């Protein structure tokens, strides 16, 4: 992309004079990353540098010249509507008209898109953003290029706006970071993969046919996906046609790109000299706040006073203060800090790298470093907050300390002298209790550690974290009984038939129970594989769970059955029964395993499960061998998985895989021998 802003020759603009740009804001992300801060309040109205997130989105749209906005809300839609009615965006001089749509029954982005398609309000290419985007891009050239491409090629369906960064940039979402395969010359996006913390291999598979063209491909793992998409109306139609599309990227984009029949194209516009980011999680919340305070997003900065009643002024050192801030003589406001109106800071207090909202009362000798303090917070003497987030109305009593990664929820009181470290406190029935992610079904996090990683990422410090993909995965290897810990990121928790907007996870547990029960019946009654598979399949579809769940349940069922058989102790020999069971039921997995990633997942599930069972090593070996014989697992996948196993694992896992190791070695040698024999492969 040429950096120069000068145009060589004036070209006929691809934008028609009468073109009215419409925009769709997805106010609800249908994820629960900000729970329970968002229990009572919509996520898009959370304050970022003392301004609600939605305001940044509106500013971006206003700058882009949007004429009409459709705001798709789900949770707390009433509050959003109320907010918009009283804001300046509803005035007659607002640059666009806002239509708020309350979709209380929707459960995914896909639902919202389908609804939109149903109403027919979108008439041409539109801008699709989420309610938490912060950007200063000049959008006109992006729009022009998009429309130009559409003129040249009718199949150009969407343009994604991505910001160049690097792989471990703080503003790049660490939860499901996207990997894009792009054609350098045409900017076409050829593949999209979502990397997850659970992907132990650190590699992806690509079709060879991608390399057929003469094009130069680049595989980009250094882009910030700000979820700013310019879509044509075809996009809506696609969502309607495929009603199981829920998410924009992992469902829609991924499938469009891999579908051969469809032939639609998605393009990527990489921004190198402007700012664009999305606040998806607490980690990005922290990062984007820092970016704004450090003026990387100019002119979207606090002292532009984008909201009418703001009165920020700037001071050297990236310090922002509103009018009406009362500072004691000896208090120090350090660099990269922001203090809202009506806040008072007492003697000898130190504020550094911290954002403080309005009407807070901060007493003497308080230390606030690297933190986020929202409005109406009372902080008494001698308190230290280091790397924490304190939400509205909280009270921190004398002498307490809030350590890195802590979140003090709305209205919570931290008692005198209490030390909070890395926990998340919420107000529940008048009491302040820790928020346990695993028990609460609203959580989106697979493990305690991932949750902590998310919260703790408020103060994410690159240097302290080991950077390899496999070591991140190790966090997830720390086990709990819940097999879900091993299942990869995709969790479709919303059922189409559910009428509750805040859904629970119950049906997944139910599925597990029912599946295991069904398989147990099959084992005992010695059903045919096909029948058992059919039953399992039906169960899966009715519960609408992903295949990971099915695999997990199957493994558990089979191994459970074997363990019971061995315990019954008919013979001392464990080999024969194991071989028999696995030999018969390995084919069950044929309908559950499709891609190499699935195979790897299955292997991981097996490893995990067997490590907890008696004679686990033999069971594991028998299982893998049977699956290999049944052509469910491929040689090269097994070998690759084996070699990518980390060295330092728990002793159970280490011991259980020794036997398998020998077999894999044998397999490798056999493989190489057969390769030598064959001339062609």
Partner 1 sequence: MSSQNRGDREIDIFVEQFISQLKRRQLSGSHAVALATAQLLLRFVSAARWNHIDSLVKDIRALGVRLVQTAPKEIACRNIVSRVLTLIREEQHGHKAENGGLSGSMLGLLEKNDKKEEVLDKAALRQANRDIRPYIIEGIQDLIDEVANIEENIAKMSVDEIHDNQIILTPTPASETVLLFLLKAARKRNFTVLVTEGFPNQIDAAHNMVEKLTKAGVEAIIIPDAAVYAVMSKVGRVIMGTSTVLANGGCLSSAGSALVCATATQHSTPVVVLTAIYKLSPVYPFDVPSMIEIGSSAQVADYSDSEIVEGFQVFNPLADYVPPEDIQIYNTNIGEFSPAFIYRIVLDHYSDAGNL
Partner 2 sequence: MSELTPAQLKAQKKAAKAAKRAASKEASGQAPTRDPREAKKEQQQAAAKEGGSSSNTGNNSNNTQGGSNQSSASASSKEDRTRASRPALFGHLEKAGKVTAADAGKDVHPEVITLALRYSSYQIVGSSDRARTLLQAFQRVIADYETPEGTTLSRNLTTHLGHQIDFVISARPLSVSMGNAIRWLKQEISVVSIDMSDQAAKDMLVEKIDEYIKEKIDVSGSVIVESAVNDIADGDTVLTFAHSEVVENTFIAAHQAGKRFKIIVVDSRPLHEGRKLARDLSARGIECIYILVSALAHVLDDVSRVFLGAHAMLSNGALLSRVGSALIATAAKRKNIPVIVLCESMKFSDRVQLDSVTLNELAFPEMLANTYISDKKKLPEDKAKTSLKYLNLCYDLTPAANLTKIITELGHLPPSAVPVIMREYKSAYTM
In the complex, what is the shortest distance from the CB of residue 577 to partner 1, in angstroms, rounded to a whole number?
Answer: 55
Binder to partner 1 among 150, 336, 493, 608 (CB under 8 A)? 336
Residue 105 near partner 1 by CB under 8 A:
no
Residue 179 binds partner 1, judged by CB under 8 A: no
Distances (CA, A) of 377 to 52, 187, 356: 17, 48, 9
- Which one, 261 or 316, has the nearer CB to partner 2? 316
Q: How many residues bind partner 1 (CB under 8 A)?
A: 50
Q: Which is nearer to partner 2, 227 or 290 (CB)?
A: 290
Q: Does 311 bind partner 1 (CB under 8 A)?
A: yes
Q: Rule CB under 8 A: say whether 462 interacts with partner 1.
A: yes
Any contact of residue 91 with partner 1 (CB under 8 A)?
yes
- Cα 411 to Cα 76, 378, 381: the distances in Å are 19, 10, 18
Q: How far is the CB of 650 from partner 2 (least distance, A)?
A: 35
Residue 233 in contact with partner 1, rule: CB under 8 A: no
Nearest 5°: the CA angle 442, 448, 450 is: 90
88 vs 490, which CB is nearer to partner 1?
88
Among 6, 9, 17, 185, binds partner 1 (CB under 8 A): 6
Among residues 222 and 450, whose Cβ is nearest to partner 1?
Answer: 222
Q: Shortest gap between Cβ of 236 and partner 1 (angstroms)? A: 30
Joined together, the tokens standing for residue 441 give 């079904």
Task: Supply the minimum distance, in Å, between the C-beta of residue 277 and partner 2.
Answer: 18
Burial grade of 595 (CB within 10 A; 0-12, 13-18, 19 or more): exposed
Q: What does the DSSP assignment read for 127-150? A: EEEETTEEE----HHHHHHHHHHH
- Nearer to partner 1 by Cβ, of 63 and 489: the residue is 63
Facing residues of 191 across strands?
A: 181
> Does 651 help bind partner 2 (rule: CB under 8 A)?
no
Task: Please report whether residue 95 would count as binding partner 1 according to CB under 8 A.
Answer: yes
569 lines the binding site for partner 2 (CB under 8 A)? no
Binding flags for partner 2, 233-272, as an x/- string (CB under 8 A) = ---------------------------------------x
Pick from partner 1, partner 2, none: which does 191 bind, CB < 5 to 8 A by kind?
Answer: none
Which C-beta is closer to partner 2: that of 3 or that of 430? 3
Start-to-end C-alpha separation, the chain: 42
Is the peptide bond between 299 and the residue preceding it cis, with omega within 30 degrees of 0?
yes
User: How far lies 497's CA from each of 73, 107, 111, 242, in Å?
Assistant: 19, 10, 12, 16
Residue 2 as a binder of partner 2 (CB under 8 A): the answer is yes
- In the list 17, 120, 185, 316, the residue contacting partner 2 (rule: CB under 8 A) is 316
For position 462 contacting partner 2 by CB under 8 A, the verdict is: no
Task: List the single partner that 2 binds among partner 2, partner 1, none, CB under 5 to 8 Å by kind.
Answer: partner 2
- Residue 291 interacts with which of partner 2, partner 1, none, CB < 5 to 8 Å by class: partner 1
Q: Which residues, 6 or more positions from 677, have their beta carbon under 8 angstroms from its beta carbon?
A: none
CA distances from 623 to 49, 122, 656 (A): 54, 53, 13
57 C-beta neighbours (distance < 10 Å), count: 27
DSSP 508-577: HHHHHHHHHHHHHHHHHTT--HHHHHHHHHHHHHHHT--HHHHHHHHHHHHHHHHHHHHHHTS-S--HHH
* 484-512 per-residue burial string, b: 16 or more CB within 10 A, e: under 16: bbbbbbbbbbbeeeeeebebeeebbeebb
DSSP 165-222: --TT-TTS-SSS-EEEEEETTT-EEEEEEE--TT--S------GGGGSSSPPEEEE--
Q: Select from 2-10, 24-32, 449-457, 588-596 the region that touches partner 2 (CB under 8 A).
A: 2-10
Element (H, E) at 326: strand 326-327
Is residue 309 a contact residue for partner 1 (CB under 8 A)?
Answer: yes
672 is a site residue for partner 1 (CB under 8 A): no
Query: In this structure, what token pair is assigned to residue 302?
Result: 């606090």
Please state the closest distance from residue 403 (CB atom) to partner 2, in A. Answer: 20
Q: Which does 296 bind (CB under 5 to 8 A by kind): partner 2, partner 1, none?
A: partner 1
Euclidean distance between CA atoms 159 and 357, whole angstroms:
37
Site of tokens 């020794």: 658
Do residues 65 and 21 touch, judged by C-beta distance below 8 A?
Answer: yes
The reply on whether position 229 binds partner 1 by CB under 8 A is: no
Element holding 378 (H helix, E strand)? strand 378-379
| Distance (Å, whole) CA 122 – CA 232 | 9
**CB within 8 Å of 463: residues ≥ 6 apart:** none
Considering beta carbons, is residue 94 or 255 the nearer one to partner 1? 94
For partner 2, give the closer residue by CB, 6 or 93. 6
How far apart CA 276 and CA 428 sit, in angstroms, is 37
Does the protein bind partner 1 through residue 299 (CB under 8 A)? Answer: yes
Q: How far is the CB of 665 from partner 1 (least distance, A)?
A: 41
Burial label, 673 (beta-carbon count in 10 A; 0-12, 13-18, 19+): exposed
Per rule CB under 8 A, is residue 341 in the interface with partner 1? no
Count the site residues for partner 2 by CB under 8 A. Answer: 5
Considering CB distances under 5 to 8 angstroms, the limit depending on partner class, which of partner 2, partner 1, none binds residue 314? Answer: partner 1
Which residue from 3, 208, 569, 651 is in contact with partner 2, where contact means CB under 8 A? 3
| Tokens found for residue 142 | 């992006």
Cβ neighbours of residue 282 under 8 Å, at least 6 residues apart?
A: 33, 34, 389, 407, 454, 455, 457, 458
- Is the peptide bond preceding residue 36 cis, with omega within 30 degrees of 0? yes
Per CB under 8 A, which of residues 149..178 are in contact with partner 1?
163-166, 168-171
**For partner 2, the closer CB: 165 or 217:** 165
Rg (CA), the chain: 27
Cβ proximity to partner 2: between 3 and 208 the closer is 3
Which range touches partner 2 (CB under 8 A), out of 1-9, 107-115, 244-252, 542-550? 1-9
Choose the contact partner of 91 out of partner 1, partner 2, none; CB within 5 to 8 A by kind.
Answer: partner 1
Task: Identify which range of 270-278, 428-436, 482-490, 658-666 contacts partner 1 by CB under 8 A.
Answer: 270-278
Residues that bind partner 1 (CB under 8 A): 4-6, 59, 62-63, 86-88, 90-93, 95, 136, 163-166, 168-171, 222, 272-275, 291, 294-299, 304-306, 308-309, 311, 313-318, 335-336, 462
Residues that bind partner 2 (CB under 8 A): 2-4, 272, 316
């Amino acid at each position: 992309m040429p950096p120069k802003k000068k145009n060589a020759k004036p070209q006929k603009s691809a934008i028609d004079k009468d073109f009215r740009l419409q925009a769709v804001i997805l106010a609800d992300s249908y994820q629960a990353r900000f729970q329970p801060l968002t229990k009572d309040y919509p996520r898009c109205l959370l304050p970022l540098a003392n301004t609600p997130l939605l305001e940044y989105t509106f500013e971006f749209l206003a700058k882009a010249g949007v004429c009409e906005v459709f705001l798709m809300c789900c949770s707390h839609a009433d509050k959003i509507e109320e907010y918009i009615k009283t804001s300046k965006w509803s005035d007659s001089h607002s640059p666009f008209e806002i239509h708020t749509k309350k979709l209380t029954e929707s459960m995914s982005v896909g639902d919202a898109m389908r609804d939109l398609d149903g109403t027919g309000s979108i008439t041409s290419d539109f801008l699709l953003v989420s309610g938490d985007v912060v950007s200063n891009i000049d959008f006109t050239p992006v729009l022009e290029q998009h429309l130009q491409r559409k003129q040249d090629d009718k199949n150009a369906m969407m343009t994604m706006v991505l910001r160049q960064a690097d792989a471990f940039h703080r503003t790049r979402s660490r939860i499901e970071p996207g990997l894009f395969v792009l054609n350098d010359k045409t900017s076409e996006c050829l593949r999209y993969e979502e990397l997850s913390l659970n992907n132990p291999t650190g590699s992806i598979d690509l079709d060879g046919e991608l390399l057929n063209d003469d094009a130069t491909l680049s595989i980009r793992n250094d882009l910030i996906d700000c979820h700013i998409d310019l879509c044509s109306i075809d996009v809506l139609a696609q969502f309607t046609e495929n009603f199981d599309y829920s998410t924009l990227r992992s469902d829609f984009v991924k499938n469009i790109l891999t579908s051969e029949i469809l032939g639609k194209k998605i393009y990527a516009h990489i921004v190198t000299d402007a700012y664009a980011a999305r606040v998806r999680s607490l980690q990005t919340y922290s990062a984007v706040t820092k970016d704004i305070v450090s003026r990387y997003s100019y002119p979207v900065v606090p002292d532009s006073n984008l909201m009418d009643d703001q009165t920020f002024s700037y001071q050297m050192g990236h310090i922002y203060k509103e009018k009406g801030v009362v500072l004691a003589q000896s208090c120090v406001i350090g660099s990269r800090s922001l203090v809202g109106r009506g806040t008072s800071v007492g003697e000898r207090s130190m504020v550094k790298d911290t954002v403080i909202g309005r009407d807070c009362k901060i007493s003497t000798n308080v230390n606030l470093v690297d933190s986020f303090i929202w409005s109406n917070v009372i902080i008494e003497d001698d308190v230290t907050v280091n790397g924490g987030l304190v939400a509205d109305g909280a009270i921190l009593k004398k002498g307490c300390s809030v350590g890195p990664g802590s979140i003090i929820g709305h209205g919570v009181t931290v008692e005198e002298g209490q030390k909070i470290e890395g926990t998340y406190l919420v107000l529940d029935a008048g009491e302040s209790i820790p928020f346990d992610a695993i028990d609460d079904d609203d959580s989106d996090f697979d493990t305690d550690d991932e949750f902590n990683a998310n919260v703790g990422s408020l103060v994410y410090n690159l240097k302290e974290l080991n950077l390899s993909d496999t070591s991140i995965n190790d966090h997830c290897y720390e086990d709990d009984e819940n097999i879900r810990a091993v299942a990869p990121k995709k969790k479709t928790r919303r059922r189409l038939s559910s009428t509750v907007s805040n859904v629970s996870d119950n049906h997944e547990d139910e599925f597990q129970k029912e599946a295991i029960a069904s398989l147990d019946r099959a084992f005992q009654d010695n059903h045919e594989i096909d029948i058992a598979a059919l039953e399992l399949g039906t169960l899966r579809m009715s519960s609408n769970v992903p295949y990971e769940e099915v695999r997990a349940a199957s493994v558990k069922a089979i191994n459970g059955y074997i363990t019971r058989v061995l315990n019954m102790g008919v013979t001392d020999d464990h080999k024969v029964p194991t071989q028999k069971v696995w030999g018969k039921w390995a084919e069950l997995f044929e309908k559950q395993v499709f891609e190499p990633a699935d195979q790897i997942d299955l292997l991981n599930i097996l490893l995990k499960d067997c490590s907890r069972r008696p004679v686990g090593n033999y069971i594991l070996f028998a299982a893998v061998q049977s699956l290999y014989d049944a052509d469910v697992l491929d040689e090269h996948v097994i070998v690759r998985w084996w070699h990518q196993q980390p060295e330092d694992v728990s002793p159970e896992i280490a011991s259980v895989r020794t036997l398998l190791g020998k077999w894999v070695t044998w397999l490798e040698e056999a493989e190489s021998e057969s390769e030598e024999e064959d001339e062609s492969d």
